Amino acid sequence: MTAMTDDTLPVTPRAMRDEMILFVVMAAVLSVVPWTGIYPFFVMQALCFALLACAFNLLIGYGGLLSFGHAMFLGTAGYVSAHALKVWGLTPELGIVAGIAAAAGLAVITGLVAIRRQGIYFAMITLALSQLLYFIYLQTPFTHGEDGIQGIPQGYLFGVFNLANSTTLYYVIVVGFLAGFLLIYRTINSPFGEVLKSIRENEQRAISLGYKTDHYKLLAYILSGTLAGFAGSLKVFVAQNASLTDVHWSMSGEIVLMTLVGGLGTVFGPVVGAFVIIAMQQYLASFGQWVTVIQGVIFVVCVLTFRRGVIGEIAHYFRRSL
Amino acid sequence: MQALYAQLLVGLINGSFYALLSLGLAVIFGMLNIINFAHGALYMMGAFCAYFLLNLLNIGYWPALILAPIIVGIFGMILERTMLQWLSGLDHLYGLLLTFGMALIIQGIFQNYFGSSGLPYAIPDELKGGMNLGFMFLPIYRGWVVVFSLIVCLATWYLIERTRLGANLRAATENPTLVRAFGINVPRMITLTYGLGVGLAALAGVLSAPINQVRPLMGADLIIVVFAVVVIGGMGSIMGSIITGFALGVIEGLTKYFYPEASNTVVFVLMVLVLLVKPTGLTGRAN
């Protein structure tokens, strides 16, 4: 676990200040989007994926664990929220809670299995677990197989905010994203986050210092999966459907790609990466399967020449931690 | 009973592919420290290679059985020389990400030109028809796939465990620097190893072409199952990979007969069970 951390900078007041300034700028930019004429649906979709990528990044960038199955949290939370809203007729907030709870439960179960191996095996195990779930969702009736759950009612959040109104929905998504982002940021800079980084750097030494590293890794995994589930629940309100594509391995690959492009182990990288990849998919939609090829090329180019990612390169250039 | 034997045979055939692919993965991982995510895509290229040889150059099944693994193996060696070799010394995860990207490129290109449907590839005349074994009807081609895969697996095991070349290979896996000091060209050996692993995948592709049709995504889902096989078996031993591959194929076949709903998932469920009982895999050593 060395290569991606060769230029880790210590958390200093200056770094914290930089990050807080950037956070305020990001929040300000996001809050004026509805007046700029930018298609809000695109931004909402990108924000859901940005939160998902941030959750994924918590695990790989700070815990050194590459999950190749994070789509299972996105898809599970999406299905459960969609089912709760449409069939059980729950209110939006309860639908979100149901989705998050499902993702958290899934994270506990899969975490206990996956955490038993490290490194490359961890990636293969999470991939296999998500494929197992894919086949289960393909066969169980409540997911409606290939069709997915469609036409999900949006309803009134807390009985007040009409989510069918796209501006209202937009701000709800922005607030949800910022809350999730802050939670991850807080986690990274907490004593828990510091222990996690030490496990990434040298697990043996962390063990010899008396840390039960498996507990830390499992907790990080559960937190990451739960937040990925939150992103999945939010996405239901934007897309108004929940389908098998959200659980497929190619989705897990896209999550990895977003984080890699933005910068593994950077605070803002996954957000930038998510916007880049979602924008690319929008503009290249007419090229069909070539999008897959282009994604593959980005993977190859990033790994060979651009391992720090966009934000990582900028941070490296200015000798800052972003 | 007929149906049970038929499913057992299907299981053995899938097991042959699992064995050939996980064997290649294990060999590559030993030398390059890379999990080759592109393995499924290269398996698919093996099948397409046989298809092209037949339809463009009119070269039949038997030459393709040798030519396709060599051609795809050379392609793999080019990939290793141009890309994978730059990853040595980096975290294992970058190898996974790079080969995942390669798989997306290869599969995407083939999907563009051939869509997602299957192309037919005929069984060679010599292996058409079937035999009545008394208790079941055995299509000759299917029997051939199982026997031939087993021979190739055992030959690979012999090459690595019992020959001088294999001894060098195993030594280089343990300590490449020291082996280089003995005057052995380790980088070339790494390239050839990758070529060998890829060749095995391509061979599995050729074998499967008459059974499963030739499809751009034929390797995409298979590789995930093979990953689970590798986790179950552990990558510590060559023979372990072979036995685990065949055994899981048979178990999958039995599941298809007794409880078809679970046939897609049984390998993954077994992986979970093995991880709970023996996290290092059945033949793996603690790392």
Q: How far apart are CA A59 and CA A220, in angstroms?
A: 6
ipTM: 0.90
For residue B104, give every residue at least 6 positions away whose Cβ sits within 8 Å of its Cβ, in sequence order, or none: A253, A292, A293, A295, A296, A299
Kindly report the average pLDDT of chain A as a whole number. 88
Rounded to whole angstroms, the Cα distance separating A173 from A30 reads 10
- Give the whole-angstrom CA distance, residue A264 versus residue A86: 37
User: In this model, does residue A309 exceed pLDDT 70?
Assistant: yes
Q: Which residues of A touch B29 (CB under 8 A)?
A: 120
> Side-chain half-sphere of B39: how many Cα atoms within 13 Å?
33
pLDDT score of B287 more than 70: no
What pairs with residue A156 in β-bridges?
A162
Contact assignment for B98 to A127 by CB distance below 8 Å:
no
- Closest Cα in chain A, distance from residue B82 (Å): 10
In chain A, the percentage of residues whose pLDDT exceeds 70 is: 96
Sorting pLDDT into bands at 50, 70 and 90, what band is B128? Answer: confident
Q: What are phi and psi of B44, to 5 degrees?
A: -60, -40
Please say if the pLDDT value at position A1 is more than 50: no
Residue of B nearest to A299 (CA): B101
Which tens digit of pLDDT belongs to each residue from A49-68?
999 999 999 999 888 899 99
Query: Tokens in use for B47?
Result: 């099948």
Helices (H), chain A: 13-32, 40-63, 71-86, 92-114, 119-139, 166-188, 191-201, 203-208, 213-239, 249-262, 269-283, 290-305, 309-317
* Rounded CA separation A164/A154 (Å): 6
**Number of helices (H) and strands (E), helices first, in chain B?**
11, 2
Neighbours of A263 (CB within 10 A): 29
Give the number of other CB atoms < 10 A from CB of residue A80.
Answer: 27
Instruction: Tell whether B278 is covered by a domain.
Output: no
Token pair 């020291």: residue: B178
CB-closest option in B92, B269, B280 to A132: B269
Chain-centroid distance of CA B241 in Å reads 10
Cβ-Cβ contacts under 8 Å, A61 against chain B: none
Q: How confident is the model at residue A106 (pLDDT cuts 50, 70, 90)?
A: very high
- The dihedral sign for the CA sequence A5, B25, A296, B190: positive
**Identity of the residue numbered A41:** F
Residue extents of the structural domains in chain A: 13-246
Task: Please give the sequence-ordered ranges of beta strands (E in DSSP) within chain B, or none if there are none.
Answer: 130-132, 137-139
- Domain presence at residue B276: no
Virtual torsion, Cα A321, A257, A6, B34, nearest 10 deg: 170
Min Cα–Cα distance to chain A from B239, Å: 20
Residue B265 and residue A3: Cβ atoms within 8 Å? Answer: no
Q: How many domains does chain B have?
A: 1
**pLDDT score of A286 more than 80:** yes
Instruction: Round to whole Å and give the CA distance between B25 and B244.
Output: 13
pLDDT of A71 above 90? yes
Yes or no: say if B144 and B208 are a contact pair by the CB < 8 Å rule. no
Contacts of B101 in chain A (CB under 8 A): 295-300, 302-303
Mean pLDDT of B125-148: 85
β-partners of residue A150 are: A241
Q: Which of B84, B227, B277 to mutate to test the interface with A (most CBs of A within 10 A)?
A: B227
- Do residue B107 and residue A300 have CB atoms under 8 angstroms apart? no
Tell me the C-alpha distance between B119 and B121, whole Å. Answer: 7
Tokens 């009973």 sit at which residue? B1
Hey, are the CB atoms on A292 and B104 less than 8 Å from each other?
yes
CA-based nearest distance B29→chain A, Å: 10
The answer to whether residue B60 is domain-embedded is yes
| C-beta atoms surrounding A145 within 10 Å | 12
**How far is the CA of B221 from the CAs of A206, B11, B103, B272, in angstroms?**
37, 16, 12, 18
Phi then psi for residue B250, to 5 deg, are -65, -45
Interface residue B271 vs chain A (CB under 8 A): yes
- Number of A to B CB contacts under 8 A, please give it: 127
Coil, strand, or helix at residue A306? coil
Asked if pLDDT for residue A8 goes beyond 60, the answer is no
Q: Which of A252-256, A277-281, B99-103, B232-236 has the lowest mean pLDDT?
A: B232-236
Q: Is residue B100 part of a domain?
A: yes
Q: Determine the structural domain holding residue B57 and report its residue range.
A: 2-218
B119: phi then psi, degrees, rounded to nearest 5 = -100, 140
Fill in the amino acid letter for A280.
Answer: M
Residue A38 burial (CB count, 10 A): 11
* Residue that has been written with the tokens 């290269």 in this structure: B42
CA distance B280 to B133: 40
CB contact under 8 A, B98 and A131: no
Residue A12's pLDDT is: 67
Residue A2 in this model has a pLDDT that exceeds 60: no
- Pick the range with the lowest mean pLDDT from A7-21, A222-236, B149-163: A7-21
Considering only alpha carbons, which residue of chain B is nearest residue A64? B93
Host H or E run for residue A156: strand A156-157
Interface test with A, best of B87, B104, B116, B283 (most A CBs within 10 A): B104
Nearest-by-Cβ selection for A113 from B91, B276, B280: B276
Are A120 and B92 within 8 A, CB to CB? yes
**Paired tokens of B271:** 């992986």
Cβ separation A304–B98 shorter than 8 A: yes
Q: Does B259 touch chain A (CB under 8 A)?
A: no
Question: What pLDDT does residue A167 have?
Answer: 86
Q: Provide, as residue numbers in chain B, all residues whose Cβ is less than 8 Å from the Cβ of A292.
A: 104-105, 107-108, 111
The C-alpha angle B209, B215, B219, rounded to 5 degrees, equals 85
The number of beta carbons lying within 10 Å of the beta carbon of residue A165 is 12
Contacts of residue B133, Cβ cutoff 8 Å, sequence gap at least 6: none
